[in-house]
Chains A and B, each alone.
Chain A
Amino acid sequence: MRLPPELADELISHAVADLPNECCGMIGGRHGVATSVHRATNTEASPFMYVMDPRQQMQLMDAIDDAGEDLLAIYHSHTRSAAYPSRTDVELAFFGQTLYLIVSLADRDAPEIRAFRLRRDQPAESAVTEEPVEILEP
């Protein structure tokens, strides 16, 4: 997926704002280009887990749909580990057609953004496929 720099900054800002907990939200877009970042509430309020508020989840999915956008990615942060899916991330990845984007703040001076397609119905070796995230020029 392609990500305008201001939206990449927004993802990192959200991850920082929700420290010490993980943040979560959705990214809308068209033709693989992100056009909107929608912050959501992590009802777990935990550094180790996120569960998006289901009411917000419904509202945001509808808002993205109503705007004529696609749900390009579901994002969350890893506050102290790499931007790579955990076993929990894979086990709870119901949205196999949507990218799961992870913002890592493990190195606060150099946040990392990576995206993956996760298939919880696949064996471990084929459950995670990385998809490139291209940060566009300003």
Chain B
Amino acid sequence: MSTVRVPPVLRAAVGGVRELSVPGSTVSEVLEALYSAHPEVRSQLVSDDGELHRFVNIYVNDEDVRLQEWLDTPVGESDTLLILPAMAGGASAAR
């Protein structure tokens, strides 16, 4: 079981806890297990096309998985996975 750190923005969707133990040997497997246990998380992180939203960052032991093997990045028993939706936006569409 790896540890998933839950930022405040997602805590309501997982019953208010800061950390969860979640099975899975890759980022993808951990996320699927998390979605199964807490379906509301999926709606917050996954785009309409079924893919992880491109403005959601995932870190394994503080390393960005986009710089590793993305969703295939291995996750070990003692690893910590952090889900961090971006703070982003901008006036572009208003112009």
Contact = CB atoms under 8 A, between A and B. Distances in A.
A97 B94 CA distance: 23
Contact of B89 (A79, A92, A96): A92
In order of increasing CB-CB distance, the 4 nearest A-B pairs are: A94-B85, A49-B90, A89-B89, A86-B94
A100 B91 CA distance: 13
Contacts of B39: none
Nearest to A93: B89
B95 A81 contact: yes
B87 A52 contact: yes
Interface of B: 7-9, 12, 43-44, 55-57, 64, 82, 84-95
Given A94-B55, A97-B9, A97-B12, A57 B95 contact: no
B89 A121 contact: no
A51 interface: yes
Given A92-B55, A121-B43, A81 B85 contact: no
A61 B89 contact: no
A78 B86 contact: no
Given A22-B90, A61-B7, A86-B94, 10 more contacts: A40-B87, A46-B90, A49-B91, A50-B87, A54-B64, A54-B84, A76-B89, A91-B89, A94-B85, A96-B9
Contacts of A46: 90
29 contacts: A22-B91, A24-B87, A26-B87, A48-B90, A48-B91, A48-B95, A49-B88, A49-B90, A49-B92, A50-B89, A51-B86, A51-B87, A54-B57, A54-B84, A61-B8, A76-B90, A81-B91, A81-B95, A85-B89, A86-B89, A86-B93, A88-B91, A89-B89, A89-B91, A91-B89, A92-B86, A94-B87, A98-B9, A121-B43
Interface of A: 22, 24, 26, 40, 44, 46-52, 54, 57-58, 61, 65, 71, 74, 76, 78-82, 84-98, 100, 121
